[in-house]
Amino acid sequence: MLETSLRLPNGTVLQHRLAKAAMEEALSDPHEDPTPELARLYRRWAEGGAALLITGHVMVDRSARARPRDVVVEDDRALPMLEAWATAARVNGAEVWMQLNHAGRQTPRFVAREPVAPSAVPAVKMFASFGRPRALREEEIEEIIARFGRAAEIAERAGFTGVQIHAAHGYLLSQFLSPRTNLREDQWGGSIENRARILIRVIRTIRASVKSTTAVGVKLNSADFQRGGFDKEDFAAVVRMLDGEGIDLLEISGGNYESPTLFAGTSTASREAYFLEFARAVRDLTSVPIMLTGGFRSRKVMEGALTEGVVDVIGMARPLAIDPDFPRRLLDGSVDRSEVTMKAVFLKSFNALADGAWSWMQIRRMAHGDAPDPKLSTWLSIAYYLFFDLFLSRTRIMRLGLA
């Protein structure tokens, strides 16, 4: 089942069912342009055998990055390096899609003191790193929609075979979808049709900007898991709305910075595929192929989800940060599950940050030509991650020791 190919609506044929989900690399140069390290990293992942490689989020607006060294595509000035990135990712014939994003209120203070959001809701409460957002004006919303279209067109020109719109994890499009963060009373807020309007407009704009053979995917939250947030009913309504919009793959995830359920299966928990019940709930509402991401670790659970007919593509992130060859090894039968995870820290509230930081350190190691290090300290990873964003990212120094 894992090895069965899959034809997507745009005609793309995925060689099998294993995909690398997006992981923010934060590997741009100080001008937010891509680097040779990104090409090296994606060549490594391509050799690992995934059928589809989705890049970490690439921001459509420099002032709305989630981390200082996120890659930004606002124009085609870095086209040659983008081409090198796409070419490296394609060495094994895999599909490579660029994930496009705008961080909205999840833009940290040291990127923008006053981030923008659907509404002027309170700042994200996390280590005092976020400023209180101001509400976007209508013309600014139109400008952001246009930015998604422009970035998609540039990604296609650079050789990416598709794009994925990031509408999950509490970033701007997900903020519009959630009644907790979208308090607007105009055409962009209120009913779920209005809250989803920006996402639908982004899809249509991108579809009009790229060839029909270029894939367009969407990553959507099953829920925010917050009181008064985007819930299961909203999720079902959006899935229905997306059905006629010409998308090629719908990835299901969940959570945001304040409620990081996307990492529900941290090393302390053993539950796999933790959003599976949400995929079950919407399977019959759409004809779009579904990719499910979050907690997949064993062949048994992956094959179960595929055989049940609920899920078409298995998305994995953290396992591929520590073992880039995991897809190939699953397919050739040499392993049945991903065993290595970080050591959880005793302060529970740090574990979501730790999960991101530890995997990111492994990604950086690969980008610099080193093998991942299963023994890497969790606290050291957190410290390096914070030090990098607060200080190192402002310098021209690309690398210090460890990662």
Ligand X SMILES: Cc1cc2nc3c(=O)[nH]c(=O)nc-3n(C[C@H](O)[C@H](O)[C@H](O)COP(=O)(O)O)c2cc1C
Is 253 a binding residue for ligand X by CB under 6 A? The answer is yes
136 vs 316 by CB, closer to ligand X: 316
216: helix, strand or coil: strand
With CB under 6 A as the contact rule, the residue among 262, 291, 322, 366 that binds ligand X is: 262
Residue 270 burial (10 A CB sphere; 0-12, 13-18, 19+): exposed
Is 172 a binding residue for ligand X by CB under 6 A? The answer is no
Is 272 a binding residue for ligand X by CB under 6 A? The answer is no
Smallest distance from the beta carbon of 174 to ligand X, in angstroms? Answer: 10
Give the CA-trace dihedral at 58, 55, 133, 235, to 10 degrees.
Answer: 130
Binding window for ligand X (CB under 6 A); candidates: 85-93, 161-169, 208-216, 227-235: 161-169
Is 45 a binding residue for ligand X by CB under 6 A? The answer is no
- Whole-Å CA distances, 240 to 110, 169, 200, 218, 236: 38, 20, 12, 13, 6
Is 252 a binding residue for ligand X by CB under 6 A? The answer is no
Residues 175-234 close enough to bind ligand X by CB under 6 A: 219
Is 102 a binding residue for ligand X by CB under 6 A? The answer is no
Total residues binding ligand X (CB under 6 A): 26
Smallest distance from the beta carbon of 118 to ligand X, in angstroms? Answer: 19
Residues in the chain: 403
Binding window for ligand X (CB under 6 A); candidates: 81-89, 222-230, 282-290, 312-320: 312-320
Is 108 a binding residue for ligand X by CB under 6 A? The answer is no
- Whole-Å CA distances, 265 to 167, 268, 304: 21, 7, 18
7 vs 271 by CB, closer to ligand X: 271
78 vs 165 by CB, closer to ligand X: 165
Q: Token digits for 92?
A: 């094994």
189 vs 299 by CB, closer to ligand X: 299
- Whole-Å CA distances, 85 to 37, 41, 240, 378: 9, 9, 34, 29
Smallest distance from the beta carbon of 194 to ligand X, in angstroms? Answer: 24
Binding window for ligand X (CB under 6 A); candidates: 84-92, 155-163, 292-300, 387-395: 292-300
Assess contact for 229 and 178: CB atoms under 8 A. Answer: yes
With CB under 6 A as the contact rule, the residue among 6, 21, 81, 353 that binds ligand X is: 21
Long-range contacts, 207-211 (Cβ 8 Å, 24+): 207/245, 207/246, 208/149, 209/149, 209/150, 209/152, 209/153, 209/156, 210/152, 210/153, 210/156, 210/163, 211/156
Residues 48-87 close enough to bind ligand X by CB under 6 A: 56-57
Assess contact for 117 and 188: CB atoms under 8 A. Answer: no
Residues 361-390 close enough to bind ligand X by CB under 6 A: none
Is 318 a binding residue for ligand X by CB under 6 A? The answer is yes
Give the CA-trace dihedral at 6, 12, 18, 19, to 10 degrees.
Answer: -150
CA–CA separation, 331 and 267 (whole Å): 24
Is 312 a binding residue for ligand X by CB under 6 A? The answer is no
- Number of Cα atoms under 13 Å in the Cβ half of residue 152: 29
The residue ranges that bind ligand X (CB under 6 A) are 21-24, 56-57, 99, 166, 168-169, 219, 253, 262, 265, 293-296, 316-319, 355-356, 359-360
